[in-house]
C-alpha cells in the first residue's frame, strides 16, 4: 500500500500505518503519533482519566482538525443572538 499524501504529490512511498480517523495510508513523513488518553467509567457517571496514555496514528489533516478549539454555541445562545 502507498502513502495517500505522497500519491497526491505524484510519489509512490510505502505506507507504514493508517490514520485512525480517516483511514488514509501514511508513510513515516506523513504519520503523526499523538497521545490518546484512556478513560475509565465508574458508577454514577464518574469518569477517570487513567495515568497511562495510548497512542493514535493520524494524518496531519485529521490531527489539526481534531486539535482545534471546540468553539460552539448552544441552541439557546444561538436563538438569543
pLDDT attached to residue 72: 61
Q: What's the predicted TM-score (pTM) here?
A: 0.71
How crowded is the C-beta side of 68, counted as CA atoms within 13 Å?
A: 7
Distance CA 79, CA 73 (A): 10
- The domain ranges of the chain are 4-69
Distance CA 15, CA 31 (A): 9
**Angle CA 68–69–74, to nearest 5:** 130
Q: Where are the beta strands (DSSP E) in 17-79?
A: 17-18, 25-26, 32-36, 39-41, 47-49, 54-58
Residue ranges in the chain modelled with pLDDT below 50? none
Amino acid at each position: 500500500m502507498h502513502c495517500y499524501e505522497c500519491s497526491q504529490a505524484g510519489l509512490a512511498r510505502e505506507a507504514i500505518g493508517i490514520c485512525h480517523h480517516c483511514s488514509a495510508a501514511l508513510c513515516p513523513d506523513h504519520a503523526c503519533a499523538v497521545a490518546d488518553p484512556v478513560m475509565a467509567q465508574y458508577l454514577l457517571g464518574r469518569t477517570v482519566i487513567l495515568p497511562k496514555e495510548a497512542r493514535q496514528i493520524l494524518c496531519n489533516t485529521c490531527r489539526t482538525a481534531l486539535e482545534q478549539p471546540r468553539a460552539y454555541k448552544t441552541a439557546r445562545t444561538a436563538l438569543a443572538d
